[in-house]
Amino acid sequence: MTPYFFTVPEGEIACASNPSFGREVFFHPKGYTDESYIGTPLNKSAVDGLKLSRLTPNVPYSVKEGVVLNETVQIGVVSN
């Protein structure tokens, strides 16, 4: 019901489990979902996992300026 919070029209939310940090949540825009792309992290666990692995997101998108992800967190898509 609320506006899409990414600057691209379509994409996928991807999750991974990291034993050190917990569930990592990333966004991959349409066309950038294979293993050669690193999505942009949407939670602290994902940020910490990328830092530990010395990886940098390489997908062409960003979260819209001023967006609040509280609703996404509430429905379980993104964790704090």
The ranges assigned to domains in the chain are 11-74
Sequence letter at residue 65? E
- pTM for this one? 0.72
What's the pLDDT at 58? 93
CA geometry: angle at 64 spanning 30 and 52, to 5°? 70
Q: Average pLDDT, stretch 52-76? A: 73
With a cut of 50, say whether residue 75 has pLDDT above it. no
Q: What is the Cα Rg of the chain in Å?
A: 12
Of residues 38 and 72, the one with the higher pLDDT is: 38
Which residues 6+ apart lie within 8 Å of 68 measured at CB? none
What is the Cα–Cα distance from 29 to 43, expressed in whole angstroms? 17
- Name the pLDDT band for 4 (thresholds 50, 70, 90): low
pLDDT digits (tens, 9 = 90+) for 23-42: 998 889 889 988 899 998 88
CA geometry: angle at 43 spanning 37 and 47, to 5°? 60
